[in-house]
Amino acid sequence: MNARRRLERRWLGLPPARCEVLESSASMATADGARLATRILRPADASARRGAVLIRSERPLPASGARSPVERLARWLAEDGRTVAIQTCRGRGDSEGEFRAFADEAADGGDALRWMADQPWFDGELVLLGAGYSAFTAWAALSAATVPIAALVAGFGARDPYAWLHRGGVLQLEAALALAARLDDRTGHDAAALDLARASRHRPLAECDRVALRELPAFRDWLAHPECDAWWRERTPALPDPPPRALFVNGWYECAFPAAYADFEQLSARCAERGGAVPELVLGPWGAAPVPRAERARRSSDVAEFARAMLRFVARAVGARSIRDLPTRVFVRGVGWREAPSWPPAKTRERTLYLGGEGRANSAAGDGQLAREPGDDRADAFVADPADPVPSLGGAAVGGMAGAVDQRPVEERGDVLCFTSEPIESALEIAGRVQLTLHGDPSADAAHTSAKLVAVERDGAARWLAEGIARTQPGAAVCVIQLGAAGVRLAAGTRLRVEVAGSSLPRFARCEHSPSPRVHAVHHGRARPSALRFQAMGDEKGPPE
């Protein structure tokens, strides 16, 4: 091993390599005859071999010795004694066939597993690993496995492609364009090549891929199926039964995080029912775009943290089962990294705050309130104008800055309702899911309602905590918005704020059901109690009434 690789392992906090690595190329034939380019990295010392790992990636195989993230992860695994097969998906790079996003990964993944089981270096213990789109390919291969799978590692991607690309039935526009570009042609395009700002302003939605870069077939397919219909369901791998050991790695500001967190919850529930190993979770302050400096964990990039967690997890799953780590490692804003037996922590409980005020909640200067009890029956109104959408700031951004960005520029707008609590009396830690229930007036048309949870600090900065959107159907009077999950410790004196608007562009596609401005109402009070619900611990009194 050269000096650079030794220094790299030391910087990552990894133990010294156990062996040198041999590299070879292979070509695997699928059931329909397509040959898929595959690279094998294996320990030079056969006696050091401990299990095999399959990584199926949409990225073309890098040049030998290249320092792509996939190649680096594979080499670290091989240096620890694992035989690693990196395979390029059909129709990508040097692999034959036609690439169809999400459509063929189960069949091809099943073929790859059977092929690996026939290789002389296979010792019977197999791990599926992926990050981004290849996290989906790992789930897909697992669903088609006919050989035992020791473990699954899924990072920065999700099992359900519809849930990955949509929130509340609304397309995550930036994320969809970025992923479609990455899956275009045989090599793909990075998000940096996209003109996301110009594309998000373009109408109609069906042409914004062409404005961003060029016509993207995957994006056009997704637009053709706005509902979670049979087309999406046949592309969604089933949850495994029985479930293997699993590690989830994701970022608070990743567009795939809400869907991946749902995978974690569902697999945790299945393991509890079947008595399997508790899934493990690493959740950091990461996103597709840069995050504010104050949120960056020291010496903890997504690749480094993923590598450390993955190597230790694979060691426990295959071979060195004496290694013991707590199942969850979560970056809590205001605290730092926290390891625990479970997440959310067992001592969290649900809190409820009710929207209120005198009906003038427009902008942060209005009279919108959050309180522990519902107030008198009132209503607030905001205008949703497709020609003047509310801009996205921070959060799970793809372009610009992600993370806990100050929301005050948005809160100056009259088409944004703001409901703010009194300062909390002692520290409060939000840990888990956040949900907003809004009571409105039935509409003749479908509509979008976006919402954010914000922490208003002592200096007035309004920091992003969580965000969601929902498409309400004609005639619906109640809108439930899932804001995802949050992990943050709020200091005494902080106020909580809920923002409600009709759009958040470019994160979410604008509503095209109503081409002209529409007025929407939010009712609150005892008769129609619009409310925020979240999991938290500490500050038992909550925000004062």
pLDDT digits (tens, 9 = 90+) for 118-135: 999 898 889 999 999 999
CA distance 221 to 206: 10
Mean pLDDT calculated for residue range 277-294: 88
Backbone φ and ψ for 350, nearest 5 degrees, come out as: -75, 135
SS3 2: coil
What pLDDT is attached to residue 413?
Answer: 98
Residue 174 binned pLDDT confidence (cut-offs 50, 70, 90):
very high
Contacts of 3 by beta carbon, 8 Å cutoff, 6+ apart: none
CA 49 centroid distance within chain: 33
Residue 26 domain-assigned? yes
The type of residue at 106 is A
Kindly state whether residues 252 and 374 are assigned to the same domain: no
Q: Based on the domain organization, do 382 and 280 belong to the same domain?
A: no
Give the pLDDT of residue 205.
Answer: 94
- pLDDT-based confidence at 470, cuts 50/70/90? very high
Decide which of 197 and 47 is more confident: 197
Say if residue 545's pLDDT is above 50. no
Looking at residue 458, its pLDDT comes to: 97
Give me the pLDDT at residue 469, please.
99
pLDDT band at 322 (very low <50, low <70, confident <90, very high): very low
Q: Which amino acid is at 229?
A: D
**For a pLDDT cut of 70, what percent of the chain falls above it?**
95
Q: What is the DSSP string of 197-264?
A: HHHHH-SSGGGHHHHHTS--HHHHHHHT--S--HHHHTTSPPPPSS--EEEEEEEEE-TTHHHHHHHH
Continuous segment of H or E residues that includes residue 462 = strand 462-472
Whether residue 251 is found in the same domain as residue 150 = yes
Does the structure show a pLDDT above 50 at 245? yes
Residue 185 Ramachandran class (φ > 0 left, ψ -120 to 50 alpha, else beta) = left
In whole angstroms, give the CA distance from residue 66 to residue 72.
8
**What Rg do the C-alpha atoms of the chain give, in angstroms?**
24
Instruction: Tell me the three-class secondary structure of 169-201, residue by residue.
Output: CEEEHHHHHHHHHHCCCCCCCCHHHCCHHHHHH
Is the pLDDT at 36 greater than 80? The verdict is yes
* 214 within a domain of the structure (yes/no): no
Mean pLDDT to the nearest integer, 224-242 = 96
Beta bridge mates, 347? none
Same domain, 424 and 280: no
| Higher-scoring residue by pLDDT: 88, 311 | 88
Domain end call among 284, 312, 340:
340
Considering the domain architecture, whether residues 303 and 408 belong to the same structural domain is answered as no
In this structure, the answer to whether residues 439 and 403 fall within a common structural domain is yes
> In the predicted model, what is the mean pLDDT of residues 245-273?
95
Q: Please state, in angstroms and rounded to a whole number, the distance separating the CA atoms of residues 284 and 279.
A: 17
Has residue 410 been placed in a domain? yes
Whether 251 shows a pLDDT value over 90: the answer reads: yes
Cα distances from 354 to residues 70, 371, 377, 408, 494, in angstroms, run 47, 5, 12, 22, 17
Task: For residue 96, give the CATH number of its domain.
Answer: 3.40.50.1820
Distance in angstroms between the alpha carbons of the first and the last residue of the chain: 64
187 located within any domain: no
CA distance 62 to 434: 41
At 299, the pLDDT band (50, 70, 90 cuts) reads: very low
- What pLDDT, on a 0 to 100 scale, did the predictor assign at position 152? 97
- What pLDDT shows up at residue 324? 56
- Domain encompassing residue 304: 3-169+227-340
pLDDT one-digit tens code per residue, 38-55: 999 999 887 767 889 999
Q: Give the C-alpha separation, 441 to 435, whole Å.
A: 20
Whether 215 maps to a domain, the answer reads no
CA–CA separation, 127 vs 158, rounded Å? 17
Instruction: Label residue 224 exposed, middle or buried (CB < 10 Å: 0-12, 13-18, 19+).
Output: exposed
Phi then psi dihedrals of residue 201, to 5 deg: -80, -15
Q: What is the dihedral of CA 356, 362, 366, 372, to 10 degrees?
A: 20
Written as one letter, the residue type at 265 is: E
What pLDDT is stored for residue 319 in this prediction?
Answer: 63
Write down the pLDDT at residue 68: 81
How many separate domains does the chain show? 2
Alpha carbons 441 and 450: distance in angstroms, whole number: 16
Tell me: do 260 and 329 sit in the same domain: yes
| Residue range 352-405, pLDDT digits in tens | 999 999 999 999 999 999 999 999 999 999 999 999 999 999 999 998 889 999
Q: Please tell me whether residues 263 and 328 are part of one structural domain.
A: yes
Both structure tokens of 153? 């590692």
Are 466 and 483 in contact by the 8 Å Cβ rule? The answer is yes
The backbone torsions φ and ψ at residue 526, rounded to the nearest 5 degrees and listed phi first, read -65, -35
Looking at the fold, whether 233 and 359 belong to one and the same domain comes out as no
* Average pLDDT in the chain: 92
| pLDDT above 70 for 488 | yes
Say which range, 246-250, 320-324, 346-350, 503-507, has the weakest mean pLDDT: 320-324
Burial of 241 (0-12, 13-18, 19+ CB in 10 A): exposed
The residue among 48 and 261 whose pLDDT is bigger is 261
Whether residue 109 is contained in a domain is answered as yes
| 333 and 466 Cβ atoms separated by less than 8 Å | no
Q: What is the pTM of this model?
A: 0.94
Question: Does residue 440 lie within any of the structural domains?
Answer: yes
Asked whether 26 and 119 are in contact (CB, 8 A), the reply is: no
Phi, psi (5° rounding) for residue 344? -60, 155
Residue 88 clears pLDDT 60, i.e. is over it: yes
The residues near 225 (Cβ < 8 Å, ≥ 6 apart) are 231, 232
Domain final residue pick, 318, 340, 362: 340
Structure tokens at 67: 């320092």
Q: Which of 10-24, 280-294, 428-442 has the lowest mean pLDDT?
A: 10-24
Mean pLDDT, residues 60-74 taken together? 80
pLDDT at 530 over 80: yes
Which of 340, 365, 383 lies at the terminal end of a domain, its last residue? 340
Supply φ then ψ for residue 453, to 5 degrees: -105, 130
428 and 328 share one domain: no
Question: Using an 8 Å Cβ cutoff, are 88 and 10 in contact?
Answer: no
Are residues 436 and 291 both part of a single domain? no
% of the chain at pLDDT higher than 90: 74
* One domain for residues 260 and 328: yes
Q: How far apart are CA 449 and CA 511, in angstroms?
A: 9
Half-sphere exposure of 27 (CA within 13 A, CB side): 7
Residue 493 lies in a domain: yes
Taking each helix axis from N to C end, the angle separating 69-79 and 3-12, rounded to the nearest 10 degrees, works out to 90
